Amino acid sequence: MRTCYIVAYDIADPKRLQRVHRTMRGYGDPLQYSVFRCILSPSERILLIEALTPIINHREDQVMFINLGPADGRAQTSFETLGRALASKPDRVAVIV
Rounded-to-integer distance, Cα 96 and Cα 55, Å: 17
| 11-29 tens-digit pLDDT | 999 999 999 999 999 999 9
Q: Tell me, what amino acid is at 6?
A: I
| 68-95 tens-digit pLDDT | 988 887 666 676 667 666 665 554 555 5
**Cα 69 vs. chain centroid, distance in angstroms?**
14
Sorted by where each starts, the structural domains of the chain and their CATH numbers stand as 3-77 (3.30.70.240)
Which pTM value belongs to this model? 0.80
